[in-house]
């Protein structure tokens, strides 16, 4: 891997092993997925003490739960007895976390409360659930599997002001679905980061979403008068909007206009939900607040609803994409919104993107595959993602401490 990174041709896609080789996939998992902050779900999914959801990141099962004091915590979902998963459902609610195997029982803060018929000198305090680093910002929950997580504060400082007015902590999930794409996780991201393909593949999305390179680009677009007018108008209404990207390129936030005359991702361009997403945001034509954070999430927040995306790798050639639609907590399906109307555009777009990613993966498996050049006009976002990945991996391959991994790489 190190040699292919060193010899990579700038402005071109990656070599074949990055997309199909199981050993390269293991290195991705070790150096990115097991070390970085990962978006896993929303605060509103664990509204009450005892509410939990589970997530599988590579080899690690994790449970996220709200404790009795209202704090959101994450634990390795592995019983301290013989290792069985403690929570086996995707989500649920419980006053205690009870392992179904032998009923070892944990409090919501992870402490072991009960283990029957164990030795007299057994120490419950030494057998709490193992914690996973967990942070919440703007209604989004992030975890980090590393024993020494990177500082979350710089990302929080960027994201929080953009998302605070939208009050996603108070929203509710109207619908969610998971799509399994038979392609490497990087192909899912590469496809997401450009709209070069949109006109020919996304008729539903193109009714409201501009194909302009500035929508997915990585520059401030200060020279675009439409974008500058949009930022100025939204910020006058108290909505942070200007383009803001991390120096290392791992995350970016900006607010962009939708096509003229449209205000939400629907087939008509009209809003899908009667109440605004947030009681605090009442300005017309706010467009879409867009955030990405590599490697797990991209997002769109409009006036009436939000759509969030979570990327989780399954194998070298399989990726799970989970999409959630968030609406005002008091919005009632069938009264305030029609679920099919709310979800149609992104359900169709996800299906179209799955096909695109799978065709891309199919072609890359060919011995004849050779990385080609990116469009300098339309694929700046894809190039930025690949450059981030390459730079990130190069620094970690050079600095990581596990000799076994380095041998693999």
pLDDT digit string, tens, across residues 228-279: 999 999 999 999 999 999 999 999 999 999 999 999 999 999 999 999 999 9
Tell me: pLDDT of 174 over 70: yes
Distance of CA 60 to the CA centre of its chain: 17
Supply the pLDDT for residue 409: 43
Rounded distance, CA 202 to CA 398, Å?
40
For residue 167, the SS3 value is coil
The pair of structure tokens assigned to 162 is 């953009």
Length of the chain in residues, anyone? 409
Looking at the chain, the whole-number percentage of residues with pLDDT higher than 90 is 87
Residue that wins the pLDDT comparison between 376 and 290: 290
Higher pLDDT, 179 or 376: 179
Confidence check: pLDDT of 179 > 50 = yes
Question: Which is more confident, 29 or 196?
Answer: 29
Question: What local confidence, expressed as pLDDT, does residue 219 receive?
Answer: 66
Q: What is the pLDDT of residue 399?
A: 59
Cβ neighbours for 291, distance < 8 A, ≥ 6 positions apart: 159, 162, 163, 251, 252, 253, 297, 298, 299
pLDDT of 214: 67
Residue range 191-207: mean pLDDT, rounded: 90
Q: Please state the rounded mean pLDDT for residues 341-358.
A: 97
Sheet holding 72-76, edge to edge: 38-42, 140-144, 131-137, 72-76, 60-66, 51-57, 91-93
Cα Rg, the chain, nearest whole Å: 22
Taking only the tens place, the pLDDT of each residue in 203-224 is 999 899 887 766 655 666 677 8
Residue 322 to residue 315: CA distance in whole angstroms: 16
As a dihedral over the C-alpha atoms of residue 251, residue 241, residue 201, residue 313, rounded to 10 degrees, the angle is 20
* pLDDT beyond 70 at 293: yes
User: Residue 395, SS3?
Assistant: helix
Binning the chain into helix, strand and coil, the percentages to the nearest 5 are 30, 25, 45
Q: How large is the average pLDDT for residues 120-143?
A: 97
Work out the average pLDDT over 278-283.
94
Q: What pLDDT does residue 64 have?
A: 98
**pLDDT tens track for 350-403:** 999 999 999 999 999 999 999 999 998 888 899 999 999 999 999 999 855 443
**pLDDT of the residue at 90:** 97
Q: Is the peptide bond before 295 cis (omega within 30 degrees of 0)?
A: yes
Distance CA 11, CA 158 (A): 28
Q: What integer pLDDT is reported at residue 224 of this predicted model?
A: 81
pLDDT of residue 402: 44
For 93-104, what is the mean pLDDT? 97
pLDDT at 363: 97
User: Could you give the percent of the chain with pLDDT greater than 70?
Assistant: 95
Structure confidence at residue 216 (pLDDT): 59
Average per-residue pLDDT in the chain? Answer: 93
What residues contact residue 150 under an 8 Å CB cut-off, 6+ apart? 35, 36, 37, 144
98 pLDDT above the threshold of 60:
yes
């Amino acid at each position: 891997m190190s040699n292919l990174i060193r010899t990579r041709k700038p402005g071109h896609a990656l070599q074949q092993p990055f997309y199909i080789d199981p050993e390269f996939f293991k290195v991705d998992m070790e150096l990115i997925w097991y070390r970085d902050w990962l978006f896993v779900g929303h605060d509103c999914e664990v509204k009450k003490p005892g509410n939990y959801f589970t997530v599988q990141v590579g080899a690690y099962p994790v449970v996220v739960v709200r404790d009795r004091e209202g704090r959101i915590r994450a634990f390795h979902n592995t019983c301290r007895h013989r290792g069985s998963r403690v929570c086996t459902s995707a989500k649920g609610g419980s006053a205690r976390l009870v392992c179904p195997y032998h009923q070892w029982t944990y409090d919501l803060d992870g402490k072991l409360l009960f283990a029957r018929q164990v030795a007299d000198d057994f120490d419950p305090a030494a057998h709490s659930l193992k914690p996973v680093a967990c942070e919440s910002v703007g209604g989004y929950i992030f975890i980090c599997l590393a024993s020494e997580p990177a500082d979350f504060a710089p990302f929080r400082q960027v994201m929080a002001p953009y998302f605070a007015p939208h009050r996603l902590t108070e929203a509710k999930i109207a619908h969610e679905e998971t799509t399994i794409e038979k392609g490497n996780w990087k192909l899912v991201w590469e496809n997401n980061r450009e709209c070069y393909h949109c006109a020919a593949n996304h008729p539903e999305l193109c009714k409201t979403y501009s194909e302009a390179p500035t929508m997915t680009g990585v520059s401030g677009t200060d020279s675009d008068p439409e974008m500058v007018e949009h930022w100025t108008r939204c910020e006058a209404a108290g909505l942070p909007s200007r383009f803001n990207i991390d120096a290392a390129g791992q995350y970016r936030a900006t607010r962009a206009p939708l096509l003229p005359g449209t205000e939400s991702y629907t087939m008509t361009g009209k809003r899908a939900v009667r109440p605004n997403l947030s009681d605090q945001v009442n300005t017309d034509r706010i467009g879409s607040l867009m955030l990405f954070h590599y490697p797990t999430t991209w997002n769109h927040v409009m006036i009436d609803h939000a759509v969030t995306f979570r990327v989780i790798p399954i194998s070298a050639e399989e990726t799970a994409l989970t999409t959630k639609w968030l609406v005002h907590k008091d919005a009632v399906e069938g009264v305030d919104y029609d679920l099919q109307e709310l979800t149609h555009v992104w359900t169709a777009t996800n299906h179209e993107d799955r096909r695109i990613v799978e065709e891309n993966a199919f072609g890359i498996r060919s011995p004849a595959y050779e990385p080609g050049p990116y469009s300098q006009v339309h694929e700046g976002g894809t190039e930025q993602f690949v450059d981030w990945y390459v730079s990130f991996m190069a620094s970690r391959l050079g600095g990581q401490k596990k000799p076994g991994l380095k041998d693999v790489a």
